[in-house]
Amino acid sequence: MFNELFSDWVGILSFGVIAFIILMALFFIVFFMAHSGDPKA
| Residue range 1-41, pLDDT digits in tens | 678 878 888 999 999 999 999 999 999 999 988 888 766 65
Cβ-Cβ contacts under 8 Å for 35 (sequence gap 6 or more): 41
- Cβ–Cβ under 8 Å, residues 41 and 35: yes
Q: What's the pLDDT score for residue 28?
A: 94
Q: Where are the domains of the chain?
A: 1-41
Global pTM value: 0.59
Distance from C-alpha of 9 to C-alpha of 2, rounded to nearest angstrom: 10
